[in-house]
Structures are given as structure tokens and as C-alpha cells.
Amino acid sequence: DIQVTQSPSTLSASVGDSVTITCRTSQSVSSWLAWFQQKPGKAPKLLIYLASNLESGVPSRFSGSGSGTEFTLTISSLQPDDFATYYCQQYNAYSPWTFGQGTKVEIK
């Protein structure tokens, strides 16, 4: 299976900051990578698909980039509602879906 590694595990930031989360895969997944946001007690919510495509209804301060084995999620101008845990997921057609271990964005 393709391994997915996120960094950092925890990120402390303030409202208005720009933050970046990195996701690396153990082999190339082309652009088959998604990003999710999860709040405590809730289900994950799709933010970004195909590495850089914003899901409908997701604020434009979220953006994704990358291809191959290295990807980033950037939140520009962090808002109070953005403090949550973020997961990346690869969905290469020839391998079981796998998720990163998560990055918790907390208030500094």
C-alpha cells in the first residue's frame, strides 16, 4: 500500500496567519490527492480534490498544490472556524486508499 506522511503533526497559529501543511506519499500518485478537514465529533469534510481543485462551497483561502509525491495545503489568513484537524488522502486507482495521520491546527 502507498504510505502517506503528513507534517507537522501539530501546528500552532493565530487568526490571520497563513499556514502550510505538507503531505508526502511513498510513491507517485500523480495528482490523485485530496485534503479533508475534521472537527471534534464530526465527520471529515472534503476541501480539495485532485491536488488543487477546491470543492464547491469551500472558502478560497484554502488552496492545494503539488503532484507526484509531495503536496501542500495552504490556508491563507486563518479564521476561527479553521482550527481543526486536516488529513490528506491518496486515491491512486491501483492501490487502496490511504490517509495521512492528520495535522491538528490549534490556536497559538
Partner 1 sequence: EVQLVESGGGLVQPGGSLRLSCAASGFTFSNHWMIWVRQAPERGLEWVATSNQDGRERFYMDSVKGRFSISRDNAKNALWLQMNSLRAEDTAVYYCVRVGHLTADSWGQGTLVTVSS
Query: Could you say whether residue 5 binds partner 1 (CB under 8 A)?
Result: no
Residue 31 found at the interface with partner 1 (CB under 8 A): no
Among 16, 43, 60, 80, binds partner 1 (CB under 8 A): 43
Give the Cα separation of 45 and 10 in Å (integer). 19
Q: Is 86 a residue that touches partner 1 (CB under 8 A)?
A: no
| DSSP class of 55 | P
**Residues between 52 and 71 that touch partner 1 (CB under 8 A):** 53, 55
Q: For the chain, what is the radius of gyration of the CA atoms?
A: 13
**Do 21 and 73 form a contact (C-beta atoms < 8 A)?**
yes
Distance of closest approach, residue 36 Cβ to partner 1, in angstroms: 8
Helix (H) or strand (E) holding 24: strand 19-25
Residue ranges binding partner 1 (CB under 8 A)? 32, 34, 36, 42-46, 49-50, 53, 55, 87, 89, 91, 96-102
